[in-house]
Structure 1
Amino acid sequence: MKTILIPLDFSETSANALKYASNLLKALHVSRVILLKTFYKSIYEQLLPSADFVQLSNEDMLEERTEINQQLKVLANELLSNCNPDLQIETVLSERPLLRAVHDVIERQKPDLILYGSDSANGHEESYIGEQVIAIAKTSPVPVLIIPSDVSYQKISRALIPCDFAMTSRLNPVSSSGSPLRWWNPQLTILNIDPRHSHLEHEAEHLSALEDFLSGMEYKVSYSDDEDVVNGILSFADEQDLQLIVALPGKYSFFRNLTHKSTTEAITLNAKHPILILK
């Protein structure tokens, strides 16, 4: 039974991610979707007056909570109307901070995938979830699918996997039975970015290892000598007809090698392709 967790914040970025999910669900055999919204008020927000010098009462917070619950139910009904009627949709309103709320749901509900939106470089609105995109992606024990706010749904038939050929063992999650990639079974392009061409020394061994790890999957191998890893990946993805970029787990992932700031910039600059971060 496949379960997808979708954190929401009612922003345009979040709405686009939900629209993408709606189309994605039509193509997948997903049994359950969990829509998560946080209603977190810090102790300072509860005690101190707002910018309008109005202190929120318990009644005010209860009314706001009720309105959010109603909005969640509307979104759940809209999603269900566009999907398989057998799909189970649950709504969760948490009073914890977003990251903790996400991990609470993961622990209790065991989702197979988390899907949420990221803000684009040209976006006029910054979503709360978009600001937390890296924290969720790096700490989640389950795969994460990040949908840039400018991306519209396309059937995932071709996916790009940047990979250091010296660390082909990191490809294990790609071919595992529980991998979301198995939901789509796209043609894979394995991209080795190596400006020093060091892969040529052991190329036969690397290609043999790829064949072992990707047995039964359709793939091809490409190379880039771009000194800027992220630029090389995004430029290659732009040149090809790809619907997904896949980040491998561990410290050798092209995202994990970056600082928090540069990772955020990389995802923000990537306005054209969803990113699947495997675990």
Structure 2
Amino acid sequence: MKTLLIPVDFSATSDNAVNFAIEWARAYSYNRIILLKTFYDTVFDHIVVSAEYAPVSPHYMAREREEAAHRMENLSREIAIKTRGVDVISMVSEAPLLRAIMEVVREESPELIVLGSDNYRYSSGSFIAGNLISIAKASPVRVLIVPSTYQYQRVEKILVPADYKTLDSLDKVRNLQIPPQWKDSKLLVLNVDPKERYLNPDDHLKAAEQHVHERLKDYPHDICYSNDKNIINGILSFTQRTPVQLIISLPGKHSFLYYLTHKSISDAICRNAQEPVLILK
């Protein structure tokens, strides 16, 4: 069954990701949605922040779990009503968030994980958003990152940031099963070139462009350039000038995800929180 996994923590960011996922599941014909909530406790969860650091009552913790379980049941019913025909499953775990997600991936084989992301101007205190990068890096399946304020839109333009040093990663786009809903969508392949070689392309650049056209010959696409000296800024500036509904992050050392995870994580992912990012595997 075509399955979508949504970790939830009841924050506003998580709730927005759920609403987005509902529309995504309906648009792309998913058969099953799995909601996952972890009740994992750290040692600090059992301590009240006070001068005495008093331990939290087990009754309080049990009541908190009961309330969360009740909210999960209500959320499952709401999603089932909105999606009609989609099987909605509510799961809880005592394992740490990342381990719980990996266990569900292994046992249930979802095609996609949907995660909510806060931005630099706003934080809902989402625990999931705070662990976004570790989940995206560890996941063996595709991950879709949804900005906290983004509302679902039909995908008409898809931005694919690409480094010409790793053009083989474009195979991931070609091998991606493009849904029929994207048959009229255009892929915009963006290369950030601060040296502006694209203004007077040499044989190497022409060969790289030909490589792009060959890899994406089955899809409507354009090649675009940015002369920004910073990869992230170049991508973000492009999305401000050219509205897109999805950014695809290719795998590999020179991928967009590489810059999110090896540069300034908080700055990059938060400033990017304008459009959803689909991370390929």
TM-score, normalised by the number of residues in structure 1: 0.91
Gaps of 5+ in 2: none
Partner of 2:254: 252
Report how far residue 198 of structure 1 moved.
Answer: 4.5
Amino acid in structure 1 at the alignment position of 2:72? L
Which runs of structure 2 are paired with 1:1-80 in the superposition (5 Å)?
Answer: 1-43=1-43, 45-46=45-46, 49-51=47-49, 53-57=54-58, 59-80=59-80
Alignment CA distance shift 1:252-1:183 (3 Å): farther
Alignment CA distance shift 1:65-1:138 (3 Å): same
Moved more, 190-199 or 239-248: 190-199
Partner of 1:116: 115
Task: Report the Cα distance in structure 2 between the residues aligned to 1:113 and 1:26, rounded to whole angstroms.
Answer: 14
Report how far residue 45 of structure 1 moved.
Answer: 3.8
Task: Report the Cα distance in structure 2 between the residues aligned to 1:193 and 1:218, rounded to whole angstroms.
Answer: 21
Report how far residue 261 of structure 1 moved.
Answer: 5.9
SS of 2:95's equivalent? coil
Task: Report the Cα distance in structure 2 between the residues aligned to 1:30 and 1:183, rounded to whole angstroms.
Answer: 13
Deviation digits for residues 207-245 of structure 1 (CA, Å, limit 9, x no counterpart): 222123213111111111110110110110111121111
Report how far residue 258 of structure 1 moved.
Answer: 4.8
Do the aligned residues in 2 keep the contact of 1:134 with 1:264 (CA within 8 Å)?
A: no
Partner of 2:234: 232
Do the aligned residues in 2 keep the contact of 1:17 with 1:116 (CA within 8 Å)?
A: yes
Moved more, 201-210 or 29-38: 201-210
Do the aligned residues in 2 keep the contact of 1:134 with 1:260 (CA within 8 Å)?
A: no
Report how far residue 254 of structure 1 moved.
Answer: 2.4
Give me the identity figure in percent.
Answer: 38
Moved more, 210-219 or 255-264: 255-264
Do the aligned residues in 1 keep the contact of 2:251 with 2:257 (CA within 8 Å)?
A: no
Do the aligned residues in 1 keep the contact of 2:35 with 2:90 (CA within 8 Å)?
A: yes
Task: Report the Cα distance in structure 2 between the residues aligned to 1:77 and 1:61, rounded to whole angstroms.
Answer: 25
SS of 1:169's equivalent? helix
Do the aligned residues in 2 keep the contact of 1:4 with 1:113 (CA within 8 Å)?
A: yes
Which runs of structure 2 are paired with 1:84-99 in the superposition (5 Å)?
Answer: 85-99=84-98
Report how far residue 63 of structure 1 moved.
Answer: 3.0
SS of 2:40's equivalent? coil
Amino acid in structure 2 at the alignment position of 1:50? V
Deviation digits for residues 29-77 of structure 1 (CA, Å, limit 9, x no counterpart): 101111011101125545xx423635332x4433322221111111111
Moved more, 256-265 or 187-196: 256-265
What RMSD in Å do the two structures reach over aligned CA positions? 1.9
SS of 1:10's equivalent? coil
Which runs of structure 2 are paired with 1:255-266 in the superposition (5 Å)?
Answer: 255-260=257-262, 262-266=264-268
TM-score, normalised by the number of residues in structure 2: 0.90
Task: Report the Cα distance in structure 1 between the residues aligned to 2:140 and 2:72, rounded to whole angstroms.
Answer: 25
Moved more, 205-214 or 68-77: 205-214
Q: 1:212 aligns with which of 207, 211, 214?
A: 214
Report how far residue 163 of structure 1 moved.
Answer: 0.4
Aligned residues: 273
Moved more, 119-128 or 258-267: 258-267
SS of 1:217's equivalent? coil
Task: Report the Cα distance in structure 2 between the residues aligned to 1:210 and 1:35, rounded to whole angstroms.
Answer: 38
Task: Report the Cα distance in structure 2 between the residues aligned to 1:28 and 1:257, rounded to whole angstroms.
Answer: 29
